[in-house]
Structures are given as C-alpha cells and as structure tokens.
Structure 1
Amino acid sequence: MNDPHTKALSEVLERYWGYDDFRPLQREAMTAVIDGRDSVVVLPTGGGKSLCFQAPAVAMGGMALVVSPLIALMKDQVDTLRNCGVPAAYLNSTLSAEERREVLDGVKDGSLKLLYVAPERLLLDGTLTLLANANVSLAAIDEAHCISSWGHDFRPEYRGLARLKEVLPDIGIHAYTATATEAVREDIAKQLGLRNPEFLVGSFDRPNLTYRVLPAAGKLGRIAEVAKRHAGESGIVYCISRKEVEKTAAALVGLGVKAAPYHAGLADDKRRRTQEDFLNDRVEVIVATVAFGMGIDKPDVRFVVHAGMPKSLEAYQQEAGRAGRDGLPAECLLLFSRGDAMTWKRIIESPNDESSPESIAAALRALDGVSGYAGGVTCRHAALVEHFGQALGSDDCGACDVCLSELDLVDEPLVLAQKIISCVARLEQRFGADYTCKVLAGSSEERIIASGHDRLSTYGLLKDCRTSDIRGWVEQLVAQGFLVKAGEYGVLHLTPKGLALLKGEGNPRLLKTAPKSGKSSAGGGSRRDAESWEGVDRTLFETLRGLRSQIAGELSVPAYVVFGDASLRDMARRRPSTLEAFGHTHGVGQKKLREYGEAFLNAITGYCSENGVAMDLDAEPAGAPTRRAPARAAVPNGSSLAAFPLFREGASIDEAAKQLGRARSTTVGYLSDFLKEDVVTDPTPWVERPLALRIEGAIEEVGLGGLKPIHEQLGGEVDYDSIRIVATCVANRERV
C-alpha cells in the first residue's frame, strides 16, 4: 500500500465499487494503465477485466476511451458505472440528437470519465477529430480477440483500430479479452501497433464453474432438469440452429419456465425486448444461437447449457464463461453429439469467399479439440486450462463430473473397446453409431434380423449395458482416435490405432455413469456451491432479492445494477444493524450506500427483529455469544423524522414517497419508524379496514412471533408491508 498508485486505486475501488481488495493481476493491469504503458490483458470472464481500465480512468485526469463491440454491452456498463457514481456515456445509434449533443458536450467540457464507442463509429473522421481535441487519458479495447484472424471471433472492423496510435500517439492503448492463445495475443499487439506492450495473462480456470459433459440423447429432458434445478434463476441455453432454438424455447415454456428464443432471424425490436427482459429478470432462460451473449454483462447467470456443440474450445470457454461472472458457483453443461460435429464440419467446409485453406484447416482442428474435450476422461478444468498452455495445479478440481465421481472408468476398458471395434469390423464398416450400438445391445429390430446381423459373433455382446452407455463409449473411442466417422451419415470406420487395439496394443479410457449414491453428486452442485452459502440466511436473501427487484423496477435498470447476488449474500450473512456496518458489505460503494442503504437496512433489521435472528455477525469476536437483533434503532434517523409530519397528516405511502423523492420500499421503513415512535394503534390510514381486520384475525391465531407465520396464515395472499403495518399497530396496543 506504500505505492501511491496502489493507494489511489484502492481508495477508488472502495469508494465507487465497495471492494476492499484487488483480484489476481488487476493491480498490475491498472498500474500499466496509470503508467501509460501499452498492455494486452487476458483474464477469464468474471475476472474483473472492466475494472482494469475503469478504476484507473477514475483515478486519472481526463477521459478514458473504451471501444466496445455491442450496443447492449455499452449501455449495460454505462448504467452500472453511473449507478456507482462514475460519470460515463456512450455514443451509438440509439441516441437521439439531443442525447448525442449532451454526450459531445460532456467530451468537450471534460465532465465525462469514460466514453464507450463502437469500432465503426470510432473510425468516422468526425469522431477521431473529436477525440484528438479531447483530453483522452487512455484507450481500452474490449473483446480484443476480435482483431485477430487467428481468434475464434474475428471482426474485420476491428482492424481499423490501428489508427488509434496515429490519432492519439501519447496515450497508452490497452487490449482486454477472456480468450486468447499466445499466437492470438501476439497478433493483437501487432495489429494494434502496440509499443513494447506488457502481456498480463491470468489463469484461464474458472473455479466457481462446475463443468459436465453428457450425451445429447434425451436433450430436452436434460435441459429441463437443469432449468428446474435453477428455478427462479437466470440461465442460457445455446443451440446451433434457429429451428432448434425455437423448439427448445417452446418446450421450456410448456414446462412453465420463463424462457424466450433469441437468434438472428428475429426482428431487431424482438431481440432487443428479449435481451432487456432477460437483463431485468422478466425472462429467466434465454435459448439462443451463439449470436447471443457477447453484449451481456449480466453477472448472475447461474447456468449455461450447450445443447449444440461449440465450434472451438475458445468459443466454449467464452460462452460457458457467461455463467457465474459474479464469482458465485454456476453450472455449465455440454450435451455432446458427433452429429453436431458433422454439422459444423459442413458449415466450415462450405464455399465461402472469406475462407482460406489455412483458416478452414484451423477451424477443423479446433472442432477436433472440442471432441477431444467431450470424450476425455481427465478433469474438465485441467483440460480447458491446458488447452491455453497452463496447468491447473491440482489433481481434483472438485467441480466437474470427473472429479465429482459422477463418471467412473470402466473396469476393463481394453476388452470393452475391443468388443465395440470388433462389431464395427463385423459390420464391414458400413453402419453408423446408432445401428452398431443396437447390434451390440442385442436389439431385435426388424432390419437387424433381416440383415442377419443377429447371427454375428458380436451381436448382444453388451446386452447387459444401457444403449446410452454403449453410445457414449463409441463417441469416446471416436474422440480418442480408435474409430472415425466418415461421410454424410457418419459411418464408423476403424483407424490404424483401432486396428492395433484389436491386437491388444493401446490404452483406451472409457467412462461409465456412476451409481447415484455415495459421493456422486450427479446433476447437483459442487462443494464450492455449498461453501458459497455458508452462513447465509436464505430467507433473508430472498427478501433482499425481492426488494432489489422492486427498486430496480422503479429505476428501470437491471436488478444487478442495484446490487449483485454476491452483495445480497454478504448482507444476508453479515446482517448489519447500522448504515456504517452496511457500508462494509461486499459491493457497497458510497453512492449505493446513500441511494439504497436505508431501504436495505430497514429490510434487514426488520427481518432479524421479527425472526429473532442474530446481527452484525462479522463484528463478533471468535467464540463470543451471538448478539440478538434490537427491535429497532432507539432514535429514528433524520430521513425517517422528515417523513413523520406527512404521516401525521394522513399521507399515504405513495404520497409520502413522492414528496420525499424516495422509493416506496424506503418510505415503508419510514412509516414503520413513525408507527413505533408515535405508538400508533390504528393502521387504517394505510391499510384498508377489511384487510386490516383480516390481518388482525390472523394475528389472533398465530401471535406476533414473526411476519412469516401471519403471511402463511393468510394463505400467502397479503403483502408483507400491510402485515408489518398492522402488526406494529397491534403490538403498540400492548404498550398503551
């Protein structure tokens, strides 16, 4: 902390974002920005890349230029920055003439700290002239892998960004991405013309993600199972084709899931509404082609399912990485099918003016990499980081199907593999995987009998095994190079490696589904998931989620812009009793403390008081008895006192909220303070008499031990605000 840069950055992080420490490599990346050195920064999704340029931009003089590829991403990040108290804006086609003029004025008068621009708009002569005459402190290029033709998402418009060095020669230029091999990193630096850039490459591992690979058979059922397990939470399902997107979304809707399709075939306004509904939690699950996601900064996606095979491990790392950006546990499921591999192969090899033989060969190699990952038997986390040239450093990640023992190695893999390969040979290498599996399983299907294949020595060799397991072994043997699928219909052929295996030469590794008992946690969460909930009062967490949604709705912003799930869990774990203590919870900066502190504190203290739950847990020394929650603070705060005259005059909650300029939820807290301070016994100015009498009847039945029993006694039909008002008045009658 003696370094002045580190001290300044730490103060900025705490003041604006409510963070008290740096994530790995953030300090080094931020220092490079403040020092004006060019850099290429590779951090995993959720690793805090945006803060690497946002925090220095606030700490430095002038305005930071941020190149961002999608309009939705710009808006999302600007909304989040403004909510933290950072002056930020974007220039894009969605702005009206007046709004654009306001942004340009902000650039000229120096009132903005960050300006987001798409590469196409940036390269217009007018924009470049504007920036050349502005006090630009740094240039940050997000999704920088798009500049490299070696990358998995090359965008030609990014190549023009090399002009930044010409127009702004005296500032540092910084490239940020989540997925870039060494070759891509070097190409990014070359294409941008960076001067002696600092390369900062973090771990590609996402330890909070649980990876699983399952056969694509029964795809809809598997997707529905994941969605059900994460009911009420956000998720993304990726499909290859638009038709599959529509089919899957409709199936989920039919099961009662709030799902919606997203693909390029939909009208622009429909896609925009769907994306906004997802960001604002009106839609829980997006079913999409890979066109969806790059512009999404939603941190609380709890699962990503690939119902279609990704075209590369780089693509998979980025797409799956959209889960758990808040650092909390999330689930990633890949439903693997060689049929998808054939689909991608046809797409890659189809005539295309922009495709060179080299790029086609590279794309096919990338496809083989996904097949190898899906058919592998090593830790999924290790396999992914090794693809990017890193080592995991652990033999047990504790967060994948292999390490969670959801899958086991078969006892005699060589013998089993020989049976399968022998069957392919006996069928004269003329049939696909499905037919071969049926012969091995001893199917009595008419065409098998008619072809005489029930008389083969390999017929029924695996009749005691499930067909889905046999199919999985075939795919694993293909992935490991013992078999290959050829032609349009994926006919199985033996490779030289497979022929050698028939002679006992080779070491295949085959997986089987583990019994759902013991330490197997198939379909569940990892141990990190359990750890992330340790000490969290889940009922309070849900209460705070409801308050967050209400406030976000009033402000017309996504819920996570108010507070992320990580912040809500920390609140429900610490349960602060004062604004000062609330300000020390994760993700609570000064602006958010001013804007939302009272509302959330009222909710926390009210809940803890009504349910007898301990508070300020982080303030207690080890071994000390837990402190019980006070009924309320002895003296109402100043904002509450300002509301008292309005309530004495009979103002409704909505009228008081409007006059005070506060959210309704905050005003309810003021009313609660007023009722207790003035010992009010009649709730009817705020709750209609019939409803008040009904609530009082429920209180007579269950008492005043807490609001939840009253709510349940009323069949869950009455809102908690009304119950709290009536309960407070009933309690006051005992004080009179």
Structure 2
Amino acid sequence: MTHQKLEALKKYFGYDFFRPQQAEIIDTVMADKDCLVLMPTGGGKSVCFQIPAILRPGLTVVISPLIALMKDQVEALRGNGVNAAFLNSSISSAEQDQIIWQAKLGELKLLYIAPERLFSGNTFEFLKEWNVGLFAIDESHCISSWGHDFRPEYRQLNTLKLRFPDVPIIALTATADRVTRRDILKQLRIEHSETFIASFDRPNLSLNVLPGRKRLQQIQSFIAKHENQAGIIYCLSRKGTEAVAASLQNAGYKAEFYHAGLASEKRSKVQEKFLKDDIQIIVATIAFGMGIDKSNVRWIIHYNLPSNVESFYQEIGRAGRDGTPSDTVLFYSYMDIITRQDMINNSDQSAEQKELLHAKLNRMKQYAEADICRRRILLSYFNEAVEKDCGNCDVCQNPRTRFDATIIAQKALSGIARTDQKVAMGMLIDILRGSRNRNVLQFGYDRLPTFGAGIELRGEEWGDYISQLLNSGVMDIAYDEAHTFKLNPVSRQILKGERKVELVKFIPLNERKAKEEELVPKEKAKQEIIRDALFDRLRLLRKQMADAIGIPPYIIFTDATLSEMAQKKPINEVQMKAISGIADERFRKYGETFIKEILDFARENTKPGTRVIKGMTFVETLDLYKEGHSVKVIAEKRNLNVVTIISHLIKLKEEGNDIDLKTLIDDKSYKTITLAAQEMQITKNDPLKPLFELLNEQFDYGQIRLALAIFEENRERSH
C-alpha cells in the first residue's frame, strides 16, 4: 500500500512524499474506517480523500458547501488525469443529467456535490446505484451549531451512516475547537472514530497587527511593497468593501469589491477575474473566499476585527497555500470591538449562543492586543503546544518594551473627567499638551488643572498612548457622540490609584523607518535577478496559456512550482518532473512549452563566459545537432574537442532527448569495442583506460563511451 500511495501521489500530483499525517489518514480510509481530519487551510486535506478515491473501487462522493472550491478541485483533478465532476446550481439541468449518467456508468472517480443538491430531487436515491465507496465531508464544522459557520442543511448528513453503514466517512475541516470536534463526530454518528489533528502552524505566514488609524493610507503603502501580488482585503460591511475598492481604484490598482448584496452574475464575474489574475485585489466581506483554492494569494488584510479566531485563521490561511512566504495584516481599534459586541447583542441568537460568541470575540481581542508571540496565541487556541516564539510576527520582530504608565493614564483620564467626558482624541491631546488654539480657548479648557499636564510628551506620543488605553479597555468611546471619550469602572479605579497601568513604549516614526530599512534586502546578486526575471516570464507564459484554455493560471502550475522552476531551470523531461508539483499529465500538457521558454530565456541571456542555467553547454550542443551538423562541425563551431561533444550527446540521450547515437559510429568499430568490453566485463560506468589500452589506443575515449552507451541502451531495451 505504501508503494501504491506514493506512486499515485507522484503520478497524479507530482509530489515525492506526503505531508505529516496524510499517509496515516489515507491508510485509515483504505481500511474502511471512519475518521475526522482537522488540518489548516493549505495543509493538504484534499489529498487525504483524493488518493483513496483514486486507489479504491467505486465512486467517492465529496460533500461541500463551496461551489467555487468544487470547480477548482475538479479542474485540477482533470488536469492531473483523474475523472471528476461536480453537481451544483452553477450548471444546467442537461449537464447535471449527463454527470448523473456518468456516475451510474462508473466513469467517475470523484463527484463533488453540495448538501442541498444531495437532498433535493432523487439524488440521494441515486447514491444506491452509483457504487459509492467513500463519503468525504468537507467543511464538516458546518454540521455543528457550536462551529463558526453552522449550516442547517448539513444536519441532514446524519442519515448517511444509517443509509450506508458499510461506506466509510472521512470528515474534514480547517477550524474546529474541542467542543465542535465532538459535535461533528456525534452528528455524523461516528463518535468512536479516530481524529487526526495536524499542526496548525503555517510558518510561511507572517502575522502583523497595526493600529486602526489611517487604514487606507497604510493599505496603499503595504500594497506598493507587494507589486503584482494577489491579495484579499476583508471588511466588515458591504459599504466598507465598496469604499476601500474605490479608493484603491483611484490610486491605480486593479481592485474590485465583492459582497452578498451583488447580483450572482456580478459576483461570479469578479471572482473569475481574480482567479484568472485579471485583477490583483479583492475587497470583500466574509461572503468571499470560502473554498477559493487560488494558490498564489500572497497577502491578506483584515480591515476590521474578525468575530472569532476560527474565522480569522481560516481567512489568513487563504494566503500562501503553495507554501511560499506570504503576509497577513490585521487592523485593530476599540471601535471594532464595540461594533462586534453590538452585532452579537442585537442578533436573534439564544442567550447561551450569545455568551459563546462574546467569549470567542474576547479571544480575538486578546490576540490583537498581545505583546507576546502571536503564533503562540493562535496555536494554543487550537490546543497545540509551542516550544518557542515564531520569529515571523510583528511582536517577535519588534519586541515590545513595556513601562509603568499609570501617571500618563491618570493625566488622560483626568482630562476626560474635567471636560465632562465631552472631548475626542484631538481636543484631549491639545489640552494635555497645553495648546492655546481657538477651540481650547472657546470652551475655557485652558483653565483646567490638567491643561498642559502632559507637555513633556509630543502629540504623536499622546495619540499612541491614548489609543493603547482605549484598546485595553481603560476607557470607552461613544461613536454616536462624535467619538468622545467616556470613563468606565476601570477608569475610576486608575484615577483613585487602585490599579496600575502598563503600556508599550512609543517608538518614533523615524526610528520605525530605520528599523524597516534594516530589514530591506540588500542588493540582489546577478543570479537572483536572473531568477526573478525568469519567474516573471514563466508567470506571463502561464497566464497566456491559462487564458487560451479558460482556466485559472494556478491550475496549470502553482507559484511555488514556478519559483522552483525559475531557480532550478529544468531543460529536459527528467529535470522537469523532478520539480515539485509536476505530475505526468501536467508534464504531458505543459512541460515542453515551459522547457522551451526556459531555453529561450537562457539563450537570450547567455553571454561568453556566463552560465545562466546549469547544462546550457549541453543545450548549445543539442541546438547544433538538431540543425543537422556532424560531431566534427559541432566541435569546430563550439571550439571544443570531439570527445567532449560526444559526451554531451550521450548525456542528452540519457535525459530523454531524441538523439540517434548509432549514426555517430560505424558498425565495425561498435562491434570491436563492445566485444572487447564484454571480454573484460567493463561497463560504461567503469574506468575506460584498461579498455583503451587493450584496443591498442586504436579508438579514442569518445568512441569507446559512445559504443558502451549504445550497448547499454540495447540491453535495457531487450529487458
């Protein structure tokens, strides 16, 4: 079974080894056992049921609520040579009838289907005729009311085990805490089945939290550093998505908004443009992204605070699915907390459910306000122990220096109290700094005891510290009263000296910029520049090919595969198939085209004394051979000796190039050399000097190598 699994992995997916736990999960399914798989977005969940589907007899039915993901995965499977289809509302009745007929005839290995489609019409009855060998339930957290995305239609799946007791079930999800996991198993009636929990660590994702001030300005600065890279900006409201998208469009970026209020046709069009790299940025509500299998999303921005850690982790997981470095940014302000709390309080949920939602929101708040490694917080939420800090979050890269800020807090709170809680940020700073501007004088605030009490701090310092006080709950803000500050019970404890306050030390902007400059990569070496140029060229080729056949570019090759291709520069089938993610069918469809592009790039960039790609000297020999030149002429043109040229051609033949070695040596010489070699039991891999001497130096080393290579080729063919 181990050999079969690995063979299928290489043949259909182009990978040489499994990720952690994938092999064990596949073994469990192949043994007809039920199981629950908890694996983060981009962790390789699909392989856990796709490999068994390929190896097992019968049809694997994949139940998923995500129409976009169905389409992506089916296209990818077909591209890998696997018969797959999907049934959902996006295809016509005639197409659905055809797929149902294919399933009945046993022509499909995988059928993706939405739960509402499964339980409508006669579909559920058809299952008995389809020789179903496995049920895979994706996004299985949707079956639990404790999960963050409960869908009532999923509850009907609890009848699967009753109707098909002998068909194994594999339930899969990217996010589920202990309570949700138990409920999934209970609802599916597989309570005693094994649960596989993969590591939730995504070290390729950087984690950053930024203050929620001047967000649009910060976003544009961020995107400018991610030129031509696809990204998603998540907003809380539909109106927010439209405003942010308009701002980015005005700045010259290819951006579109996406939310549930758009017509279905418009949503599909925007999504397709994003998948096909026709637009760079999607600004969306959480209505977008569920199941988007786009592997080359390089960054995620949360314009507003998500409602829980599960949603946040799933959404940032849409970046870097191909394993390459990607960035995530969360903007955070106290207003987001208030908005989220109001949404929960005003919802129709039960009191028990509201309590749960508030608790989950509070965990999200703790993440945003943390001054310890953010990855530790995320992983601990999913009950995963972490031994050391990640080094790839803003806290690790810029360790916080905390200090006793009780006096600073008392000054700010006193200013709020003495103005009858009627001032907002700007006015409070002016009072504390002792500014005698018109507004301060108009209200008589210059006569307050706190006027000028904070003159030792600059305005930007006060702005930072007041934001920290607000975000840590030291005071409140009334957004419906012109953003004025209000005291709360914690404020009064601090004013009375009953409670201490710690804040993170302010870092001036010029110091922050200096630190950022320290992190800017040094000037790239020439080879790195060449590699980047080749990557861009391969990416353009991929886009052109994808557009021609009407599929997203990443379906052809992922960015990770292209990056490895640009780095290793494969120039033959053997080298190309050694690149991660290039399976047999993909090479058959696209391999030669990409090899040609790499060779064209190398020829254009190779100058005397330089080596753009390893093996370029062989390519130059191959080009001349294909033009019909003899070995002698090739040697003269290249200013190399004949023996070297023969060595090139033998190597090129071994790597799968169409070269007829027999035409390079006459029959008599071939027979003389091979008879002598057999007598001495010498092969092409042995030292050739004894054979050279036995033949009285009548043949040069090139002829000897050539004869032995042909002899070895004939022997292998006969076997």
State the Cα distance separating 1:457 from its structure 2 match. Answer: 4.1
Specify the alignment match of 2:350 in structure 1: 356
In structure 1, stretches of 5+ residues that fail to align are 618-625, 642-672, 674-736
Closer, same or farther: CA 523–155 of 1 in aligned 2, 3 Å: farther
State the Cα distance separating 1:413 from its structure 2 match. Answer: 3.9
Closer, same or farther: CA 546–169 of 1 in aligned 2, 3 Å: same
1:49 to 45, 48, 70: 45
1:252-296 residue CA offsets vs partner (Å, 9 max, x unmatched): 111110001111121111111000000001111001111111031
* Letter in structure 1 aligned against 2:153: E
SS at match of 1:139: strand
SS at match of 1:537: helix
In 2, are the aligned partners of 1:605 and 1:629 still within 8 Å (CA)? no
Backbone CA RMSD of aligned residues: 3.0
Specify the alignment match of 1:449 in structure 2: 441
1:367 is the counterpart of 2:361? yes
In 1, are the aligned partners of 2:410 and 2:494 still within 8 Å (CA)? no
Closer, same or farther: CA 523–330 of 1 in aligned 2, 3 Å: farther
Which is greater in Rg?
2
Closer, same or farther: CA 113–333 of 1 in aligned 2, 3 Å: same
In 2, the alpha carbon distance for the partners of 1:314 and 1:521 equals 32
Specify the alignment match of 2:245 in structure 1: 249
1:192 is the counterpart of 2:192? no
1:282 is the counterpart of 2:278? yes
State the Cα distance separating 1:90 from its structure 2 match. Answer: 0.3
* Letter in structure 1 aligned against 2:392: A
1:322 to 310, 318, 325: 318
**Percent of residue pairs bearing the same amino acid type:** 39
Instruction: Answer with 114-123 or 558-567: which moved more.
Output: 114-123
In 2, the alpha carbon distance for the partners of 1:218 and 1:146 equals 36
1:59-80 residue CA offsets vs partner (Å, 9 max, x unmatched): 2221111111122111111111
In 2, the alpha carbon distance for the partners of 1:523 and 1:306 equals 25
Specify the alignment match of 2:601 in structure 1: 607
In 1, are the aligned partners of 2:406 and 2:494 still within 8 Å (CA)? no
2:88 to 88, 92, 104: 92
In 2, the alpha carbon distance for the partners of 1:629 and 1:454 equals 83
* Letter in structure 2 aligned against 1:630: V
* Letter in structure 1 aligned against 2:92: S
Equivalent positions of 1:275-354 (< 5 A) are: 275-352=271-348
In 2, the alpha carbon distance for the partners of 1:409 and 1:69 equals 46
Specify the alignment match of 2:226 in structure 1: 230
Specify the alignment match of 2:74 in structure 1: 78
State the Cα distance separating 1:236 from its structure 2 match. Answer: 0.6
State the Cα distance separating 1:480 from its structure 2 match. Answer: 3.9
1:476 to 468, 472, 491: 468
SS at match of 1:303: strand
Instruction: Answer with 320-329 or 438-447: which moved more.
Output: 438-447
SS at match of 1:402: helix
Closer, same or farther: CA 549–464 of 1 in aligned 2, 3 Å: farther
In 2, are the aligned partners of 1:399 and 1:526 still within 8 Å (CA)? no
Specify the alignment match of 2:489 in structure 1: 495
Closer, same or farther: CA 219–442 of 1 in aligned 2, 3 Å: farther
In 2, are the aligned partners of 1:516 and 1:522 still within 8 Å (CA)? no
1:631 is the counterpart of 2:625? no
Specify the alignment match of 2:109 in structure 1: 113
In 2, the alpha carbon distance for the partners of 1:80 and 1:337 equals 40
Specify the alignment match of 1:401 in structure 2: 394
In 2, are the aligned partners of 1:219 and 1:335 still within 8 Å (CA)? yes
In 1, the alpha carbon distance for the partners of 2:264 and 2:519 equals 36
* Letter in structure 2 aligned against 1:225: S
Q: TM-score, normalised by structure 1?
A: 0.78
State the Cα distance separating 1:472 from its structure 2 match. Answer: 4.0
1:588-620 residue CA offsets vs partner (Å, 9 max, x unmatched): 000001111100001112212321264775xxx
* Letter in structure 2 aligned against 1:605: L
State the Cα distance separating 1:452 from its structure 2 match. Answer: 3.3
In 2, are the aligned partners of 1:261 and 1:286 still within 8 Å (CA)? yes
State the Cα distance separating 1:347 from its structure 2 match. Answer: 1.9
In 1, are the aligned partners of 2:404 and 2:501 still within 8 Å (CA)? no
Closer, same or farther: CA 438–328 of 1 in aligned 2, 3 Å: farther
Equivalent positions of 1:328-727 (< 5 A) are: 328-352=324-348, 355-395=349-389, 397-405=390-398, 408-427=400-419, 431=423, 435-444=427-436, 446-463=438-455, 465=457, 467=459, 469-485=461-477, 489=481, 491-496=485-490, 499=493, 503=497, 505-506=499-500, 508-513=502-507, 522=516, 537-612=531-606, 614=611, 630-631=619-620, 633-634=622-623
In 2, are the aligned partners of 1:304 and 1:333 still within 8 Å (CA)? yes
Specify the alignment match of 1:102 in structure 2: 98
In 1, the alpha carbon distance for the partners of 2:3 and 2:448 equals 76
1:542-571 residue CA offsets vs partner (Å, 9 max, x unmatched): 110011011101110000000000000000
Closer, same or farther: CA 14–438 of 1 in aligned 2, 3 Å: farther
In 1, the alpha carbon distance for the partners of 2:100 and 2:164 equals 18
State the Cα distance separating 1:499 from its structure 2 match. Answer: 1.7
1:169 is the counterpart of 2:165? yes
State the Cα distance separating 1:444 from its structure 2 match. Answer: 4.5
In 1, are the aligned partners of 2:206 and 2:392 still within 8 Å (CA)? yes
1:76-127 residue CA offsets vs partner (Å, 9 max, x unmatched): 1111111111111001122223322221122111121110000101122511
Closer, same or farther: CA 596–502 of 1 in aligned 2, 3 Å: farther
Closer, same or farther: CA 157–614 of 1 in aligned 2, 3 Å: farther
In 1, the alpha carbon distance for the partners of 2:427 and 2:142 equals 42
SS at match of 2:387: coil
In 2, are the aligned partners of 1:541 and 1:568 still within 8 Å (CA)? yes
In 1, are the aligned partners of 2:206 and 2:327 still within 8 Å (CA)? yes
In 2, are the aligned partners of 1:535 and 1:573 still within 8 Å (CA)? no
Number of residue pairs matched? 621
Closer, same or farther: CA 485–633 of 1 in aligned 2, 3 Å: same
Equivalent positions of 1:155-166 (< 5 A) are: 155-166=151-162
1:210 is the counterpart of 2:198? no
Closer, same or farther: CA 383–461 of 1 in aligned 2, 3 Å: farther
State the Cα distance separating 1:28 from its structure 2 match. Answer: 2.2
SS at match of 2:40: coil
State the Cα distance separating 1:186 from its structure 2 match. Answer: 0.9
Instruction: Answer with 513-522 or 189-198: which moved more.
Output: 513-522
